[in-house]
Copies of this chain bind each other. A is one copy, B any other.
Amino acid sequence: MSAAVQTAVVGVRGYAGMELARLLLGHPRLGEATPVFAGREPGTLAGMHPRLHPVLGGESPEVEVFSWELLERRGVEVLFLATPHEQSRAWAPAALDRGIRVIDLSGAWRLRALENRAVYKFDDEGSPAAIATAERAVYGMSELHRDEIAAADLVANPGCYATSVILALKPLLAAGLIDREQGIVCDSKSGVSGAGREPTATTHFMNAADNLSAYGLFKHRHMGELLEQLDVADEEIIFTPHLLPIPRGILSTIYVRFAQKTTAEEIEACFEHFYAGRAMVRLFHGGELPQIAYVVRTNFCDIGFKLAPDGRRCVIVSCLDNLLKGAASQAVQNMNLMLGWDEAEGLL
């Protein structure tokens, strides 16, 4: 497959869009074809994101007003939607109709079960177009669905919290080690960029600084992803997000009980086997644990664990940068697979 693939990012004004732009501009196999950057208002990338100055150098790519005509004129083959849920519900099917492959970073197409999607209150729920589109969507976690992603036209990029939890739990659940009936507890903490670029009371420095708060208990949007991707029942898992006074990064502390007495070696082996050859997950050994500082501004998900002396209870710690492995770099990973490239291309 030729490298001259034309990509486009809609919604570059947000933080995920910004990181996506940065990654695509530096992608070794897209070098010749500058991505199309589009949004509601025209401008330049550097104007919208002064912190991209260093990446962009002297000249900044234009951000154009989004239109289908624009995408057609520029011959866009892969479209990244870094747009609100509602917009992605409308634009993903429209792009597919035009033969454009889509990687959607919103929650619009991540969930299969109607009851899990209820939290989003989609306007078009139940319409034939929405049903047909949902059936084409593949959950874009390459460590779980590599082959489906490679063949997909529509990839639903996972939520940031969901990524940190699913990558930590999937190997152990798939191996049947965890006793689900004893319950799984996922205590996650995220930096402020997870709340988006829009200035709100929550993202105001005065509320976030020197503080920590829990929110969205028993009803956070990412719960549905955990249920579907981990194949656990609602009563088997609790997920509590917290807002950290830092710009970026997620740390999830996850508590499980094993059905049988287990050794640290067995658990390490389970993780090693599951992530063999997967470049974007880094495993910590010997009870060493990842920290947010190790993953910020990287494209990795770091995973470590500590087993209780009883061999039954285990705490898994999982860290990632919510804007990268939790959003933009995972989207690029998906693009790489869709285009037949190595999943880590442009990410190491």
Interface positions of A (Cβ within 8 A of B) = 15, 50-51, 53-54, 57, 182-183, 185, 187, 189, 192-193, 197, 199-201, 203-215, 217-218, 235, 238, 240, 242, 244-247, 249, 251, 253, 255, 257, 282, 287, 289, 291-298, 300, 302, 306, 308-310, 312-313, 315, 317, 348
Contacts and interface: CB of A to CB of B under 8 A. Distances in A.
A317 B218 CA distance: 14
- Most chain B C-beta atoms within 10 Å of own C-beta, residue among A205, A295, A309, A315: A205
Contact of A204 (B187, B204, B212, B244): B204
A206 B197 contact: yes
Contact of A315 (B210, B238, B287): B238
Given A50-B291, A214-B251, A201 B199 contact: yes
Question: How many monomers of this chain does the complex have?
Answer: 4
6 contacts: A15-B206, A207-B293, A212-B246, A214-B315, A217-B289, A240-B315
The 7 closest A-B pairs by CB, nearest first: A199-B199, A54-B298, A213-B291, A187-B187, A211-B293, A217-B306, A192-B205
- Most chain B C-beta atoms within 10 Å of own C-beta, residue among A189, A247, A257, A293: A293
Given A50-B291, A206-B203, A300-B54, A211 B255 contact: no
A307 to B, nearest CB: 8
A334 B201 CA distance: 32
A238 B256 CA distance: 10
Contacts of A291: 50, 211-213
Contact of A294 (B54, B189, B218, B312): B54
A143 B267 CA distance: 42
A132 to B, nearest CB: 32
A282 B204 contact: no
Contact of A205 (B215, B247, B313): B247
A292 B210 contact: yes
Nearest to A282: B53
Given A53-B298, A183-B313, 12 more contacts: A53-B294, A54-B295, A54-B300, A182-B183, A187-B255, A192-B205, A206-B247, A210-B247, A213-B289, A217-B315, A218-B309, A235-B312
Contacts of A212: 189, 244, 246, 249, 251, 291-292
